[in-house]
A and B are shown apart, each in its own frame.
With several copies, the nearest count.
Chain A
Amino acid sequence: MSILVDKHSRVLVQNITGREGSHQTRQMLAYGTNIVAGTGVGKGGRTVEGVPVFESVEEAVQATGANVSIVFVPAPFAPDAIVEAADSGVELIVCITEGIPVLDMVKVCAHVRAKGARLLGPNCPGVISPGLSKVGIMPADVFTPGPVGLVSRSGTLTYEVAAQLTALGVGQSSCVGIGGDPIVGMSFTDILGLFEADPATEVIAMIGEIGGTAEEEAAAFVGERVTKPVVAFVAGKTAPRGRRMGHAGAIVSVGQGTAEGKIAALREAGVLVGETLEKTTEAVAALVAGSRR
């Protein structure tokens, strides 16, 4: 079991004919992801890595039954690609694209919500259910199947934590990067709810960072709805106020978004918060070992 993607996911690559799209398609196919279609404006009828290319998502969905899409469309056109996927009945849209204007995402998220679709990202590494399906750009070899559900706002921290867990002999059910932008589709809360309901997930690891209130909301959700043990890490304790730390979303402003506030809220809700990544992954490993005993 897993969340969001598995062997039954029929994946569509939006802008499969682009450099990044075709490269990542190769990587995902190598992992065993069931890629059934791609789109490329003005490129309908071709194939990329054996995958048929369509002019529109609607045509791709009709021809192949794709139900998950991954978006490699450049920032100026990515909002449109997400809207197109949502309008065409795609259930899960994973947007890798970085640099989308945030007010575009205000509109896109409202649209996706109204259509009843799920959006991961933008500016995210995607999702991997180790051994089953990879719909993302993460280096596959650091992930291994197992009982830990991992969710993070950061790409490299996802890889780092997964690698440390794997090194400790602890595998993952699914690893989800929700994206580093101020406005993203699925939140920590959404993913925590899915992990809570997923029988394959025994322990949840959550990697937050400064900016916004997503970690505080996650803490409230854990307090009320999550029965599985949750371990967290929050990056950015040393970040100065009012400066954007790489991620457009990683900025402390108008009294919101400090690491201290997030850590306090998480601890309040009974979440174990690691001081370093190493201590965080060790705590996760200990909980897994404990639950296995």
Chain B
Amino acid sequence: MNTHEYQAREILAGYGVPFPPAKLAFTAAEVERVARELGGHVFVKAQIHAGGRGKAGGIKRADSPEEAREAALAMLGRTIRDRMVRKVLVVQAVYLARELYLGAVLDRSLQTVTVMASAQGGVDIEQVAEAAPEAIVRVSTDPLYGLADYQARSLARAVGLSGEQVQAFRDIAQALYRAFWDCDATLLEINPLGVTTTGALVALDAKLVIDDNALFRRPGLAALRDVEQEDPAEVEAQRVGVQYVRLAGQIGCMVNGAGLAMATMDTIHLVGGEPANFLDIGGGARSDQIDAALRIILRDPHVRAMLINIFGGIIRCDMVAQALVNLLAQGEVRVPVVVRLVGTKAAEGRALLAGTSVHIADSMVEAAQMAVALAAGEDQR
């Protein structure tokens, strides 16, 4: 689960991480007032669940309350990176000498938490990881002992800190590490971690992603969820209990199993199409879930054809076929459909679809080829 900057900030501040003074605001007038309170020189930051908001106009410097008001007017109620801006964080401007990166992620291979730092802060760490992986320094923690002082100090020195900054960095890194565990985070980062012109460390942005599987025991964190920032189709999918991720292509697909769903997407790409989504209905989906999943796909205006790829196990192919037949009968299926059914009750499923407009394929490759061809035909209509 994603959180907003102001939420992550509040959590980290609770662990003693220093941030510049700031306040959340919902209207331009509020922004102007807050900017005045904060001394006039501020940053106005759109609170949206999207990376790269800076380049997209989601972070603006203002040197007077009036400028802050104007910056807010350009954001509030508008869409940045496909996300509606409902609130902005007004942050007192700080004069920085350098921008560092500090983050914690899971190290799957060592099965523990890794703390990372870089002297190249202020940009997306993914870009640093690609362009200059050696610019990211990592330490692996012992989950029992935690992030050792010496490890935090070595990160501090590696990013060019010295003297009292080393202890300040250590305190921030250990706070981040503790917050990571306490929040059941999968990612927690401070980027940039600024070094001010007077040498002090101050956190200027924070990002927290929480393990969805742990929300059941973190009601306080679960309450931070901002559904409005999520794709409505993904919200609906989560509600009915299927896994959906919107993609940019034209072939909607419904598959059981995450691995098979990805393999299906890859096959579509291989034969010249692009998947419109990832959709895994899971191993034991019910009729109503299948129905909901099909409707989610059909609601996507970019979908030109649908591919259904089911390996029947606990889930029965005839149940999937019946759900599709029902939708067809209701006239809800506006695009050509290709179905591949294997495993439990596959023959029964195919029998149900006989006589409908649905195309039957034997293999995944064949199904993908048919779907791509049909989508191209749709496009020409």
**Are chains A and B touching in the complex at the 8 Å CB cutoff?**
yes
- Give the B-binding residues of A (Cβ under 8 A): 41-42, 55-58, 75-77, 79-81, 83-84, 87, 99-111, 114, 137-139, 142, 152-157, 159-160, 163, 180, 182-183, 207, 209-214, 217, 233, 235-250, 253-256, 259, 275-278
CB <8 Å contact, B154 and A56: yes
Name B149's contact: one of A80, A139, A163, A275 (CB within 8 Å): A80
Name A255's contact: one of B133, B270, B283, B344 (CB within 8 Å): B133
Name A209's contact: one of B105, B109, B157, B262 (CB within 8 Å): B262
Instruction: Give B245-265 as 1s and 0s: 1 = Cβ < 8 Å from A's Cβ atoms.
Output: 101000000011111111101
CB <8 Å contact, B343 and A83: no
Tell me the smallest distance from the CB of A71 to a CB of chain B, in Å.
Answer: 12
Query: Which among B4-12, B73-81, B179-187 touches the partner chain?
Result: B179-187
CB <8 Å contact, A159 and B262: no
Interface centre among A101, A217, A254, A277 (most CB of B within 10 A): A254
Name A254's contact: one of B125, B266, B267 (CB within 8 Å): B125
**Chain A residues with Cβ under 8 A from B213's Cβ?**
75, 99-102, 248
- Asked if A245 meets B108 with Cβ closer than 8 Å, knowing A103-B214, A108-B145, A238-B269, the reply is no
CB <8 Å contact, A246 and B108: no
Tell me the smallest distance from the CB of B178 to a CB of chain A, in Å.
Answer: 12
Name A139's contact: one of B126, B275, B344 (CB within 8 Å): B344
CB <8 Å contact, A246 and B266: no
CB <8 Å contact, A236 and B105: no
Tell me the smallest distance from the CB of A109 to a CB of chain B, in Å.
Answer: 5
Taken together as a complex, chains A and B put the C-alpha atoms of A145 and B116 apart, in Å, by 47
Name B129's contact: one of A183, A210, A255 (CB within 8 Å): A255
What DSSP secondary structure best describes chain B's contact surface?
mixed
Q: Closest chain B residue to A250 by CB distance?
A: B258
Q: A42-B166, A103-B113, A238-B269 are in contact. List 17 more A-B contacts (CB 8 A).
A: A80-B150, A101-B211, A102-B106, A103-B181, A104-B214, A110-B145, A111-B145, A139-B313, A154-B257, A209-B262, A217-B109, A235-B263, A238-B268, A242-B126, A254-B136, A276-B364, A277-B267
- Asked if A57 meets B214 with Cβ closer than 8 Å, knowing A106-B113, A155-B257, the reply is no
Q: Can you identify 23 A-B contacts, CB atoms within 8 angstroms? A: A83-B145, A99-B213, A105-B111, A106-B112, A107-B144, A108-B145, A109-B111, A110-B143, A137-B283, A138-B313, A139-B312, A139-B314, A154-B257, A156-B257, A180-B258, A235-B262, A237-B266, A245-B258, A247-B258, A248-B212, A255-B133, A256-B129, A276-B263
Q: Closest chain B residue to A159 by CB distance?
A: B311
**Chain A residues with Cβ under 8 A from B266's Cβ?**
235-238, 259, 276
B153 within 8 A of A: yes
CB <8 Å contact, B148 and A84: yes
Tell me the smallest distance from the CB of A57 to a CB of chain B, in Å.
Answer: 7
CB <8 Å contact, B364 and A277: yes
B216 within 8 A of A: yes
Tell me the smallest distance from the CB of B364 to a CB of chain A, in Å.
Answer: 6
Tell me the smallest distance from the CB of B300 to a CB of chain A, in Å.
Answer: 16
Q: Closest chain B residue to A211 by CB distance?
A: B108
CB <8 Å contact, A56 and B153: yes
